[in-house]
Structure 1
Amino acid sequence: MLSNMANSLIFHKRIATTLAKAKALRIYVEPLITKAKDDSTHSRRVVFEYLKSKTAVAMLFRDVAEKVADRPGGYTRILKTGNRLGDNAEMCIIELVDFNENMLAAKESRAKPVKSRRGGKKKADAPKATAPVAPVVAPEVTEAPEEKTEE
C-alpha cells in the first residue's frame, strides 16, 4: 500500500488520504527522495526496490530530485482538511513541498523584509513636528441653588 501511495505522490505531487496513512507515507517516501538526490545506478536500484515502477523512479530522479537538490530535508507537507463524514477519520492532503505553486507565489510576493518590533536608527536630520499643547483645564462645577417646595 505504501509503495502505491508513494507512486501516486510522485506522479500527482499531492494526494488526499487519512492522517495516519500520510504520516506513515512521509516516513516511507522521504528517504527515497534523499536517495534520489544522488543519481547513481545503485541509488536508482535501491529506490526501484521500494517503488516497483520504472516510470515513478524516472520521474523521481528527473523532476523531483532536481527541485529538492538544495533542501536538507522535509520534502513533504501534511495539511489537515477535517474529518471524513462516514467514519469521522481525520483527513489530510500530503504534498511535495516544492511543487505547490500557490505557496511558492505567496513566498515570492512576501520577499520584502519584515519589520522588527525593535526601533531602527533614528534620522537625526529630520525635524520634529510637534506643536505646543495647551494645558487642559477642567471647568469649575457649581451647584445649583436648591428649590424650596411647599408641602
Structure 2
Amino acid sequence: MRHGMANKKLNRTSEHRKALLKNMLNSLIKYEQITTTLPKAKFLKPQADKIITLGKKETLQTTKMLMSKLQDITSANKVKKTLSKRYEARNGGYTRIIKAGFRYGDNAPMAVIEFVDRDVEAKRVDRKKKDPAKDKTEEKKLATA
C-alpha cells in the first residue's frame, strides 16, 4: 500500500531534496522559467504554487515563512511585490510544465517549468548588456593590427 508516500524521493537524502527544492524555487522565481527533468518539475510545481499563494497574504508570518522556505531576500521580495500582484485574480495554477524532449547524454525526459503569464525579460537578469563604446574600441584595435 502507498499510505504516507506523498512526495517523490528523487533518489536523494532528505537534506539533499530540501536543498534541491530551495535552489530550484529560487531559480524559478528569479528567471520565471527553468529547464529540468520531468520528475523534478513535477516535484517543484506544487511547492511553487504554495509559495505564490503564501506571498499573496500580507502578514508578517507569511513573510517569515517565505524567508524560511526560500532563504533569499530578493526572491522573497519578488514573490511579495511582483508575483503576488500579478496573480491576485488567479486562484492557483500559477505554473505550467511543458515537456521538452529527452536529454542527450542519458535520455532523461526533460521539461520546462514556467510561470503562467511570465515576464519574458526575467530570463535576461544576469546577462550583461553589450557596451557599444567597448565594441568600437575593439574594432579599432582589430583595424590597426
| TM-score of Structure 1 vs Structure 2, range by shorter chain | 0.5 to 0.7
Counterpart residue number, 1:30: 49
- Counterpart CA distance in 2 for 1:29 and 1:73 is 10
Counterpart residue number, 1:58: 77
3-state SS of the aligned residue for 1:94? Answer: strand
Q: Which has the larger radius of gyration?
A: 1
- Counterpart CA distance in 1 for 2:98 and 2:60 is 34
State the structure with bigger RCO (CA 8 A, min sep 6), 1 or 2.
2
Q: Which has the larger helix fraction?
A: 2
Q: Could you list the per-position Cα deviations for residues 56-103 of structure 1 after superposition, in whole angstroms to 9, with x for gaps in the alignment?
A: 0001111111100010110000000100010110001000002166xx
TM-score (norm 1): 0.65
Percent identity among equivalent residues?
A: 39
The residue type paired with residue 95 of structure 1 is E
Residue 15 (1) aligns with residue 34 (2): yes
1:97 alignment partner, one of 94, 101, 116? 116
| Alignment gaps of 5+ in structure 1 | 102-151
- Counterpart CA distance in 2 for 1:100 and 1:77 is 14
3-state SS of the aligned residue for 1:98? Answer: coil
The residue type paired with residue 39 of structure 1 is E
TM-score (norm 2): 0.67
- Counterpart CA distance in 2 for 1:92 and 1:62 is 28
The residue type paired with residue 61 of structure 1 is K
Within a 5 Å distance, the mapping from 1:1-151 to structure 2 comes to 1-99=20-118
The residue type paired with residue 72 of structure 1 is N
